[in-house]
Amino acid sequence: MINISVAYGDRPALKNLSFDVPHGEQIAIVGPNGAGKSTLFKALVGLLPLQEGKILIHGKPLGHHLDCVAYVPQREEVDWRFPVTVRDVVLMGRYGRLGWLQKPDKSDNEAVQRALEQMGISDLACRAIGDLSGGQQQRVFLARSIAQQPHIMLLDEPFTGVDAITQQATLELLDQLRKADVTVLVSTHDLDLAARRFDRVLLINHSLIAYGSAEQVFSHENLHQAFSGQILHIGGAVVVDQCCPPDDIHLREV
């Protein structure tokens, strides 16, 4: 990713952001609400156009790879009223591999079944997606991304608002993806998790603040620059207060 800038109309969201991710590494994306984390993911899958800069995957621009990048959005961005079953949603992960009007074949169905089993939701396959709990819905979308068999996986706040079972299933999935040499980018507000579980941390607030190991990135100066007064030190740990005052509501991500 080289000097990318993204805006919503005349409102800048990302400015001159550059970083490189080695293949197979797991990167935590951290920053305050409205910093551009979700915007970054949407740009990486081509859902938002770039004002400037370029994104290269395996050295080639976006669109040159067959279903290379899987994206799991935040739950609130999904219309859960859509009348589809769990299996239908997971099968969507195979659509990029199907030709025009081509029906799923044995290999597609097997990939879907493996993904359902991996996320522990085989028994939910015929349930309507809207009838599930938040944690179950999250696991369905994780299964969809697994069925896609991507080289790169983007997870936007996968630990927010889900139950302990789903959190543990997500952590186990990260371990499995590491063994499979899949590159992973995860946005999170949990700085302790970012420091413990990831190879590198990308700290942003519309532009790049720091990128590297947790020890390099989580300096007092960098955190103060990113979170500007939202930092609390509790029990020796750094905790970030994400509750913005009403005057700052426009900084929240779209």
- The alpha carbon of 72 is separated from its chain's Cα centroid by a whole number of angstroms, namely 6
In the chain, pLDDT over 70 holds for what percent of residues?
Answer: 88
Listed in sequence order, the residues at least 6 apart from 64 whose beta carbon sits closer than 8 Å to its beta carbon are 57
The tens digit of pLDDT for each residue in 229-252 reads 665 444 456 555 555 443 332 333
Set out the domains of the chain in order of their start, with CATH numbers: 1-65+151-254 (3.40.50.300), 77-150 (no CATH)
Query: Which amino acid type is present at position 159?
Result: F
Averaged pLDDT in 10-residue chunks for the chain of 254 residues: 91 95 97 94 93 91 80 86 91 83 88 96 96 93 95 95 92 96 95 94 97 94 84 53 43 31
| Distance (Å, whole) CA 73 – CA 156 | 5
Residue 87 corresponds to which tokens in the numbers above?
A: 């299996």
For residue 203, report the phi and psi dihedrals to the nearest 5 degrees: -105, 120
Q: What pLDDT, on the 0 to 100 scale, is given for residue 137? A: 93
End-to-end alpha carbon distance in the chain = 22
pTM: 0.87
Residue 78 corresponds to which tokens in the numbers above?
A: 């999904």
| Strand 2-8, strand 52-54: pairing | antiparallel
